[in-house]
């Protein structure tokens, strides 16, 4: 990649935006008011705004390896707190994707150095759902199922947080689990039944 080309691309992008709306950057520089917090994977092939078809300012975005919502990751927790308490987003989305390198790495018995503690969170998801995953003969289908289950568990991690619980009491906020299929371009709503999944155990995580 020619780095200089990026700046040329930027100049063309500015001209393109101004040709359609002379006040585009004036409006863009105003306070942001996104309604969605999108937590996705850092994979270079999965661009949040493009796959959702939204414009700048319409989504607050956080990305990391394998779209994790770790309880001890100050980065994602800070983004979440700011989006929920300050921006007052109405929707919090965890979006995974089939073909995720982080998920695949977690399924392999390899020492990956500094990645080990991060991938251990995904291996914990496998441990929790081992009986379901071990019934799947196809490695590819098992891999895809782990992608979906990882999204589910990260959504549950969101629901455990104080800011999401507090916001759900004071206003309408919803948590969503999605998967992006790169082979088709389709964005899939997993339609996770959180009430059913958390039935009988939410009292453990409930915060007054």
Most confident range, picked from 8-12, 25-29, 54-58, 198-202: 8-12
pTM: 0.92
- 97 assigned to active site: yes
According to DSSP, the residues that pair with 41 across neighbouring strands are 64
Task: Supply the pLDDT for residue 193.
Answer: 93
Sheet order of strands, 174-181 included: 59-64, 36-41, 91-97, 174-181, 186-189
- 45 assigned to active site: yes
Sign for the pseudo-dihedral over CA of 186, 106, 69, 43: negative
The model's pLDDT over 105-139, given as tens digits with 9 standing for 90+, comes to: 998 888 889 899 999 999 999 999 999 999 999 99
Q: What average pLDDT does range 144-163 have in this prediction? A: 97
Q: Choosing from 41, 95, 155, 163, which is the catalytic residue?
A: 41
Task: Supply the pLDDT for residue 73.
Answer: 95
The model's pLDDT over 85-107, given as tens digits with 9 standing for 90+, comes to: 999 999 999 999 999 999 999 98
- pLDDT at residue 208 tops 80: no
Q: Choosing from 16, 21, 33, 45, which is the catalytic residue?
A: 45
- pLDDT at residue 167 tops 80: yes
State the helix-helix crossing angle for 139-160 and 116-128, rounded to 10 degrees.
100
The model's pLDDT over 2-28, given as tens digits with 9 standing for 90+, comes to: 899 999 999 999 999 999 999 999 988
Kindly indicate the confidence band of residue 203, based on its pLDDT and cuts at 50, 70 and 90: confident
């Amino acid at each position: 990649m020619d780095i200089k080309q990026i700046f040329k691309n930027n100049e063309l992008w500015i001209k393109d935006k101004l040709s359609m709306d002379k006040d585009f950057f004036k409006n863009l520089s105003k306070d942001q008011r996104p309604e969605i917090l999108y937590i996705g994977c850092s994979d270079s092939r999965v661009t949040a705004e493009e796959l959702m078809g939204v414009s700048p300012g319409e989504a607050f975005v956080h990305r990391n390896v394998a779209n994790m919502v770790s309880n001890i990751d100050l980065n994602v927790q800070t983004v979440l707190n700011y989006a929920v308490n300050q921006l007052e987003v109405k929707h919090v989305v965890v979006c995974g994707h089939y073909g995720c390198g982080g998920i695949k790495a977690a399924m392999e018995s390899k020492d990956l150095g500094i990645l080990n503690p991060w991938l251990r969170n995904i291996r914990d998801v496998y441990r929790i759902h081992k009986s379901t995953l071990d019934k799947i003969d196809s490695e590819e289908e098992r891999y895809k199922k782990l992608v979906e289950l990882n999204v589910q568990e990260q959504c549950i991690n969101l629901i455990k947080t104080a800011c999401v619980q507090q916001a759900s009491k004071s206003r309408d906020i919803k948590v969503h689990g999605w998967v992006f299929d790169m082979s088709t371009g389709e964005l899939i709503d997993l339609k996770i039944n959180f009430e059913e999944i958390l039935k009988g155990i939410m009292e453990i995580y409930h915060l007054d």
